[in-house]
Amino acid sequence: GDGISSPIVWKDRLFLVNASRRADNKKRDRKNTEQYVACYDTQQGKLLWNTVVPSGPWKRSHTNRAGGGFASCTPATDGELVYALFGTSVLVALDYAGKIVWRKELVPHNYDVEMATSPVLFEKNVIVFCGMQGGSRLVAFDRKTGDIAWDKELKDTGYGHNTPLIMQVKGTPQLILMGAGLNAAKNAIQSFDPRTGERLWW
């Protein structure tokens, strides 16, 4: 498969995501993209498992590119589950044996191309910036169940593909987010409480 996400390592396991067109699809488009989460042994490079993740609701055809755009998001892990976000607007959690524990489609969706932000782990949640055209959102999912912990609509935030940054400010966590689309924006950089999604400054 193709993908421009980064691999991640936890102890002796290496995880990565990729996507490809189906082998029997002769058309040069990606409506039938297959998505994968793969796990390798770091000592010998042996493939341990490669799990197919059902595509999400976002479809986009291309006439001149391979399937990499759907695998641009770098996965994350807490040592128990692996969290992977794909450009078709679907977030999935897998255990270390490659079994899908939960899968959530991110809706609504209206991206300029495909999602390229990466999931961020904070305490008991996995946080995703859904940078969309005309209605971005910041959503926290429970790590164990995939249930939505909080969902904040960002009405005055432009779209973007960056990954939010968690930082400590005087002992208090903040989530820093950038999203301005292709224009100047009054709220291009914002800070949120990663526990509640409340906006702190902009």
Tokens standing for 92? Answer: 């999935």
Reduced to 3 states (helix: H, G, I; strand: E, B; else coil), residue 71 is: helix
Confirm if 56 and 92 have CB atoms less than 8 A apart.
no
CA torsion 155-157-160-162 (nearest 10°) is: -110
């002769």: which residue's tokens? Answer: 26
For residue 117, CA distances in Å to 72, 153, 169 come to: 8, 17, 23
Cβ atoms within 10 A of the Cβ of 201, count? 9
pLDDT of residue 82: 98
Residues of the chain with pLDDT under 70: 21-32, 58-68, 108-114, 131-135, 180-182
**Residues 58-98 pLDDT 10s:** 666 554 454 447 888 999 999 999 999 998 889 999 999 99
